[in-house]
Structure 1
Amino acid sequence: MFIFLLPLLGYGFISLQLNQLLMETKGKSLGLITNPTGVDDDLVMVTDKISKYSDIKKFFSPEHGLRGEQQAGVQIKDYIDPVTGIQVISLYGSKKAPTLADLEDVDVLVYYIRDVGTRFYTYIWTMTYCMEAAQKAGIQFVVVDVPNPLGRKIEGCRNEMDAGLVGRKFGSNLGLPQRYGLTVGELATFINKEWLTNPVNLKIIPYLTNQFQWILPSPNMPTIETATVYPGFGIFEGTDLSEGRGTTHPFEIIGSPLITKPEELAKTLNARKLTSVIFRPVYFSPTFSKHKDAICGGVQIHVLDKNSFNPVLTAFVTLDEIYKVIPIKFNLMIDYESGISGFAELLKNTTAEKIYSQCQNNTKAFYDQVQRYYIY
């Protein structure tokens, strides 16, 4: 007689992956680091489903909150999740990592968040702080792996400084490129083996398909198109230019009230013949964030082929051309997100292409180093 055991969470690819998590952690208490991207095949948040089958002691929430309701930079306090009644410990407020007290009743700390493949997106750094916390607590750290929506391509500058949640740096090593080309599981393995002084007991649960529905991982990352341009155009957060927040196309629309002839800017940028991109002149008025309610001129970035598109080079050239037309005020985020100390001064004294070329030299060394950690 044959006995078939029905998987607790179903037979879909993600459900089978989550079933493996349940089997690996059977009889153990869990702490779960997740957000709205942590779902099953039916797009039900794992918080609401896995709690029926596992002993989840508490949730840990990154930037934007457990259920993704907070805007960028909003500090979050601990609270009780109204859906499950389980305590939520914020890792984007008074602390970046769980304390030993937070983990005293936890046997395994689990990370399940989809990332966007960009160094200065905060979730992967929350993961590293949690890895260190798990090591100090003497507990296992499990990553439920997810595809990198930007694929294997590696591009951009490796950060020269430690920028915490927008780009850590370990010891004398340069940090990650702006577009790092790894899954979160591969990245966790690389950091654990190469950069952490005290490695954690790490387990990766591989994904079984790279096909997935896009779920916005944060309020201003609504589509895969946004994620495609973000490794480059995210650096505009370090300027007084609008990066499109407050429009329906954040990071795809760039502009300022000082740009009065966006048609000429688009013509100039299109004349640069950058790979797989067309610039369209636009006028827009952000409903929040920089230049709220002001009429801005600028360009929208239209990507023709995301596999050959180079977001970092395209962003550097765009910023360079705008700088020739209007004055730009820079803040510290330009260094953090570009990865280069004194980026604004460098841009003033050299070309965008030269900056990019120097960055790509360091990126080649990173590619050579991380290939051994590929899982797929």
Structure 2
Amino acid sequence: MRQKVFLKRCCSFFFFAYLILAPLWAHAAQPVLLGIDVLEHNQFAHLRGKRVALLTHAAGVNGEGKSSIDVLWEAPQVNLVALFGPEHGIYSKEKAFAYIKDGRDKKTGLSVYSLHGKHRKPADYMLEGIDVLAIDLQDLGTRSYTYVATMKYAMEACFENNVEVMILDRPNPQGGLIVDGPPLDKDWEGFLAPIDMPYVYGLTLGELASYLKNEPGLLKITHNERKHGKLTIIPMTGWHRRMPWSATGLHWTPTSPNIPSVGAAVGYPMTGLGAEIGSFRHGIGSPYPFRLLSFPGKSPQELITALRRCNIAGLDYKAITYQDKQGRSKEGVYVIVRDWNRHRPTELSLYMMQLACTWSADGNPFAKASKEKKTMFNKHMGSNAWWKEISTRGSHARVQHFTQLWDKEARTFQNKTKKYWLYPI
């Protein structure tokens, strides 16, 4: 009798445990379907009967790694008539800042309009005969990575020309909860910083597009053009805001020559700003771009010791040896994210700048920077206050003061944009 009661209680326990945990298991096991996958799953219903152009690059692929160009070109329901390419081109092989000419895609024969050459914003003639511009770009969730500006400029041109914009959404490799870094001073608004938002902004491109469309003053077009412009978001399924890329089940396709891996994508906002001026190197040309630090005259252990003294939450460091392209043995310090929920991506760069001032034999490198270097740095950083701080105080720059100040502003931005979230926590 006791055994039957025990077994009955066990069965009840496992039954109720299943009721509680089954949704979590299903959520965890559910594959992430990208916007392009959802579009295809729905038989391209949103594109039928329309003349379609596609703004994309090599990382614009479906969940199986097939190019979105091929997906749309091969679909009998879709009339694909033109292609647009961002910085690095539709094949993502061009170097940063390279001038890219218009061309023709060899496989499809379609015209390829460059948005990183003569035009950054689609010209009116490029949009003639187009009903909808589909945008499938893998962004890094970082303000200075230029796909944000390319999307913004494309939206402006399309709304001015009565062309629908469709965003095929993708994961933010920084996740959907990390918002960090300096906001943008108006002086530095431009292609590297198209709108005032934190350096790491915590939205997908689809969510950001909705924010741009619905908040007055962000798009440089008339009120009526913005109000009547048509924006369609094809959201992902299965993605949530706490999900790191490694949990998506998706393969990373390089978004540009120096972002060959998701490790580099995560490292971009961590070390990119810190190597703009001064002697720090952040792994460009090594197997670990944006994750491998070195400084002339400093051993890996000296560098690790100095970085650990900075007490940067969520990060740790490891000395590694690798072979360069000439087969020579090189050393560096690999940046490890130990706690995804605690790290603030841009904080490391601020301490890199501070250490560069401490270790520079020629004095503060920021105070001595050329006009061109100063301008390029501030186009990325976007903060006049930080420039004044690091160029005058150098090794005594108040890093914690600025991170705390920016953290408050980041929370304000996040609260403001929550109404545009498409995905749960």
Q: How many residues are aligned here?
A: 356
The aligned counterpart of 2:298 is 260
Deviation at 1:296, TM superposition (A): 8.4
Q: CA RMSD in A?
A: 2.5
Aligned residue runs from structure 1 range 1-376, under 5 A: 13-14=33-34, 15-20=37-42, 22-53=44-75, 54-151=78-175, 152-161=177-186, 162-169=188-195, 175-194=196-215, 195-196=218-219, 197-198=221-222, 199=226, 200-210=229-239, 211=248, 212-241=250-279, 242-256=281-295, 258-281=296-319, 299-326=333-360, 327=363, 328=365, 330=369, 331=373, 332-341=375-384, 343-347=386-390, 348-349=392-393, 350-376=397-423
* Alignment CA distance shift 1:296-1:346 (3 Å): farther
Runs of at least 5 residues in structure 1 that lack an aligned partner in the other structure:
1-10, 170-174
CA distance in structure 2 between the aligned counterparts of 1:45 and 1:39, rounded to whole angstroms: 4
* Alignment CA distance shift 1:157-1:192 (3 Å): same
The aligned counterpart of 1:3 is none
CA distance in structure 2 between the aligned counterparts of 1:285 and 1:337, rounded to whole angstroms: 31
Deviation at 1:305, TM superposition (A): 2.8
Q: Is the 8 A contact 1:80 1:88 kept in 2?
A: yes
Q: Is the 8 A contact 1:237 1:334 kept in 2?
A: no
- CA deviations 1:180-228 (Å, max 9, x no partner) are 0001110000011112244231111111133222212111112222222
CA distance in structure 2 between the aligned counterparts of 1:46 and 1:127, rounded to whole angstroms: 17
Q: Percent identity?
A: 26
- CA deviations 1:126-162 (Å, max 9, x no partner) are 0000000001111111111112121121111111134
Q: Is the 8 A contact 2:138 2:170 kept in 1?
A: yes
TM-score for both structures, normalised by structure 1: 0.87
Q: Is the 8 A contact 1:236 1:334 kept in 2?
A: no
CA distance in structure 1 between the aligned counterparts of 2:282 and 2:212, rounded to whole angstroms: 31
Q: Is the 8 A contact 1:154 1:363 kept in 2?
A: yes
CA distance in structure 2 between the aligned counterparts of 1:16 and 1:262, rounded to whole angstroms: 46
Deviation at 1:271, TM superposition (A): 2.3
CA distance in structure 2 between the aligned counterparts of 1:294 and 1:177, rounded to whole angstroms: 39
Letter in 1 for 2:103: Y
Runs of at least 5 residues in structure 2 that lack an aligned partner in the other structure:
1-30, 240-247
Deviation at 1:248, TM superposition (A): 1.0
CA distance in structure 1 between the aligned counterparts of 2:194 and 2:325, rounded to whole angstroms: 32
TM-score for both structures, normalised by structure 2: 0.78
Deviation at 1:318, TM superposition (A): 2.5
Q: Is the 8 A contact 2:278 2:357 kept in 1?
A: no
Letter in 1 for 2:147: Y
SS at match of 2:93: coil
- CA deviations 1:1-53 (Å, max 9, x no partner) are xxxxxxxxxx9934333344821121110111011121123211011221122
Deviation at 1:165, TM superposition (A): 2.1
Deviation at 1:232, TM superposition (A): 2.9
Q: Is the 8 A contact 2:170 2:205 kept in 1?
A: yes
SS at match of 2:126: coil
CA distance in structure 1 between the aligned counterparts of 2:356 and 2:57, rounded to whole angstroms: 36
Deviation at 1:82, TM superposition (A): 1.2
Q: Is the 8 A contact 2:32 2:238 kept in 1?
A: no
Q: Is the 8 A contact 2:274 2:348 kept in 1?
A: no
Give 1 or 2: higher helix fraction.
2
Q: Is the 8 A contact 1:64 1:74 kept in 2?
A: yes
Q: Is the 8 A contact 1:280 1:301 kept in 2?
A: yes
